[in-house]
Amino acid sequence: MIEKYKEYLSNGFEYATASKPVKGAGECTKIKIRPINLKGSLMYQVARTVGQKELHENMTLDAAAGLLASVTGSQFLAVEAAGDKGKLTVLVSKKGHVTVLEHPKQLTDNAKANKAAEGKKGTPIQEHNRKKHYLLPEGAPIPFLVELGVMTESGKVIAQKYDKFRQINRYLEFVEDIIPALPQDRELSIVDFGCGKSYLTFALYYYLKETKGYDVNITGLDLKADVIEKCNALAGHFGYDKLKFYVGDIAGYTAEEGKYPDMVVMLHACDTATDYALEKAVKWGARVILCVPCCQHELNKQIECDSLKPIMKYGLLKERFAALVTDGLRAEMLEEAGYRTQVLEFIDMEHTPKNILIRAVRQPLRIKKHTGYEKTVEFLHVSPTLQRLLYGENRDNEEEKEKKKRSGADL
């Protein structure tokens, strides 16, 4: 199959995909290959989908064709490659029978004429750093981005602020995915805890209000009075009458009875401040929660596990392990509270290298389930703040109450 794949990966190659993964054959669920121009040379960019991540690697023609041949049947049951030669489809049955289908490209008279005019150039190869289509596009000035120093007045992104521009758009991509979970027939209420300089808060308001046309009311909360003053001045300057900022801490914030937020955001909340924000979001019944935790110190001080001592004796490893455990337990507790929860890769925040985003969407029936995260808590001898906030000091008592309710309902 290597030579057959090389035929289609050469001379005007457009794309190749490997799909329908074989059960138990690994974590990779899809492979995509496209041609790129890398420093003047034709190369093949291989993108492997593993969980929520997409891992990239550049290969030569022989290596890319060899990869497709090696995964056909062993890891994937369907492979497709297309280009000027036409389309190649390779299907492998569960019993191992291989079917090879070739569909030559049929050119119309006009297409043939165009082909002749192009000579032997074939399909244009995409540049390695191709221009990305952002939700907030580059090239057209966006007032708040100009004022915040991310764009020039002509709409060009300032070089030193390009990471911030990418971060803003990546954040909005996460928001775009959950819009269907938000109410469509009334004002949207959103609270942003620990909003800081509010680049992302302004972006959220602008995108939902100006781009999508939603009636949205956003409240930003932070401890820094000077920052809040500037944010309110900027919101007033642009006429964002439903974007307000207040000085205050998360634990002391209360929402008006019966007017709880539809969406709660926390992107800078440090250590256990994240837990207090998550508790409020859960108890308010927020439809969507977006959280990028940072500075997870609490469990790092608590972890005691003889089985992990050979690893935990290294401070750096213990710190990173504790941070991952903290976020994993938070995600599980949100699942138990009736949320469909994802742990996704974000872009590093301005003041912290943490790049995990927890996105939770409340299920319509608030179906609560038991994830068994307590076994991890017991194994590591830790007591997460969020668990105490949601369930009190004794989780077991809460479980007994639930069991009695269920048994009573069964009678």
Per-residue pLDDT reduced to its tens digit, 243-291? 999 999 888 888 887 789 999 999 878 888 899 999 999 999 999 999 9
Is residue 189 located within the same domain as residue 101? no
**pLDDT tens column, 157-173:** 998 888 889 989 999 99
Domain boundary among 105, 127, 149: 127
**Residues 369, 230 share a domain:** yes
User: Average pLDDT for residues 349-355, to the nearest whole number?
Assistant: 55
Q: What is the pLDDT of residue 110?
A: 46
Q: Among 127, 145, 163, identify where a domain stops.
A: 127
Lowest-pLDDT range of 26-35, 41-50, 185-194, 387-396? 387-396
Distance of CA 410 to CAs 3, 338, 403, 404, Å?
Answer: 65, 22, 11, 10
104 with 211, same domain?
no
What is the structure's pLDDT at 120? 44
Taking the model in full, what pTM does it have? Answer: 0.64
- pLDDT-derived band at 366 (thresholds 50, 70, 90) equals low
- Judged by DSSP in three states, 167 sits in helix
364 and 288 in a common domain: yes
* pLDDT of residue 117 exceeding 60: no
What's the rounded Cα separation, in Å, for the pair 219 and 239? Answer: 15
Final residue of a structural domain among 84, 103, 127: 127
188 part of a folded domain:
yes
Give how far Cα 113 sits from Cα of 83, 120, 222, Å.
Answer: 18, 13, 64
Domain assignment present for 49: yes
**Which amino acid is present at 102?**
E
Asked if residue 60 is part of any domain, the answer here is yes
Q: What is the pLDDT of residue 265?
A: 95
Helix (H, G, I), strand (E, B) or coil at 94: coil
Number of domains in the chain: 2
Percent of the chain with pLDDT over 70: 86
**351 lies in the same domain as 267:** yes
Digit-coded pLDDT (tens) for 202-214: 999 999 998 888 9
Residue 241 and residue 113 in one domain: no
Same domain? For 208 and 90 the reply is no
Task: Check whether residue 198 and residue 83 sit in a common domain.
Answer: no
58 token code pair:
């550049």
> What is the average pLDDT across 367-392?
87
CA separation (Å) from 374 to 300, 335, 360, 393? 17, 13, 20, 13
Specify whether 81 is located in the same domain as 199.
no
Closest CA to 288 of 371, 190, 186: 190
* CB neighbours of residue 365 within 10 Å: 7
- Measured CA distances, 276 to 228, 270, 279, 344 (Å): 21, 10, 5, 21
Task: With respect to residue 150, please indicate whether it lies within any of the assigned structural domains.
Answer: no
pLDDT tens per residue, range 314-325: 999 999 999 999
Output the pLDDT for position 79: 93
Tell me how far CA of residue 286 lies from CA of 4, 201, 271, 330, in angstroms.
54, 18, 21, 16
Answer yes or no: is 14 within a domain: yes
- Average per-residue pLDDT in the chain? 84
Residue 25 CB neighbour total at 10 angstroms: 13
In a domain, 103, yes or no: yes
pLDDT at 39 (0 to 100): 72
Residue 364 CA, distance from chain mean position = 22
| pLDDT band at residue 354 using 50, 70 and 90 as cut-offs | low
Report the pLDDT averaged over residues 60-81. 92
Query: Quick check: 10 pLDDT over 60?
Result: yes
pLDDT of residue 135: 87
Q: How buried is residue 359: exposed, middle or buried, by Cβ count under 10 Å (0-12/13-18/19+)?
A: buried
Q: Are residues 120 and 222 in the same domain?
A: no
Note whether residue 306 is domain-resident.
Answer: yes
232 and 315, same domain (yes or no): yes
The answer to whether position 39 is within a domain reads yes
- Report for 120-129, 231-240, 350-359: range of highest mean pLDDT: 231-240
Q: Hey, what amino acid is at 18? A: A
- Note down the domain range covering 83: 2-127
Task: Give the whole-angstrom CA distance, residue 407 versus residue 411.
Answer: 7
Q: What is the CATH number of the domain that holds 218?
A: 3.40.50.150
Q: Are residues 312 and 223 in the same domain?
A: yes
Which residue would you say has higher pLDDT here, 26 or 52? 26
